[in-house]
Structure 1
């Protein structure tokens, strides 16, 4: 009987070991499966996060592109507005000179019986030099235009076109972003040529420069000077509108 018991015991032990082996394999497979599921979950979460980040970056890129386009559009519109304003004043300058020339010629004609006046400067030559400087300004050659207008007013300080040249000298300095020199040039218009058609525009230009320099009080005084001194001029109307906004 003893050998039989021993054999049964050995068989039982083998079965127990076999069952334990089965349990160990199942536990290992379960752990591997759990690990795989957790890993896949982490990868899935990371993928979603990357997709969301990519979407955010794309939205930001689209917004930046939209803003850049808006900036370019506004810059173009501003430059176009400046060009239209410049062309308007240039055209106005040309038209005014057509009216001023006959009037000036009549004023310069000697009265009957008066002593002959000294020889006047050549009007054609004067106009030619003025037009040369003005064409430089039209071509956006502001440095050359400033030099041309400066030479003109020195050569013809009392000439018919001197107020215009002095005014455009100020504009040429302003176009070069030199507000101090622009103010100096326009101040000559408002003082020396205060009765000219360019004086109210010069005051308006001074106000613009003072505002850009951060001198709000000086800008206001210039605008008020336009309204007070030249109330019916187009510049005065523009000055009133600007004063309303201050």
Structure 2
């Protein structure tokens, strides 16, 4: 029995393999048949396109497009060449213009160096002219005439310090003594008049200075000194305009009993 079973198995196995191989072959055959049908269909379609003339139209359009592309490429090359030419011309013009400008600048610098230096130099600061001794004296005199005695006193004091060699120095000292007298600073008045008489013996207003000196001495009750000043005035300047005033005051002082 076992032998029969073994024999059956031996016959069954090759049969199964043969059946399997036959199935694969059929599948491949069917696939090839389908491809054949597909190719035949594509051939028919191509033949229809050729017969309808569509393919020729497409070919013609493609050819025209190739011509347009070729023409466009030619135009592009022409533009590139033109652009390169224009750019080179611009560079040449710029270099030429730059060279001409440099020559002009060099020539201008060589021809007018003084003008260039003049432009760069800083203009000098205008000097402020100081007032003259006459102007300062006149300003101080206005203060004295306006009875601004304090301001006049300071103005003439400054004048004497500022212009020690001025020809108006005696006039300034005389005016200063008058301002001091108006301020009732009689002691300072006496000192100023005395300096004026000692330092400027030829001053034209010395008669008035002696009379002013005597008046300041009278204010301080310096009677002997006042008498002496008046006597000097009468003796030195007998033709002075103030001689009558000096005589009257001397007469009054002599009438005072010590």
TM-score, with normalisation over the residues of structure 1? Answer: 0.48
TM-score, with normalisation over the residues of structure 2? Answer: 0.46
Pick the structure with greater CA Rg. 2
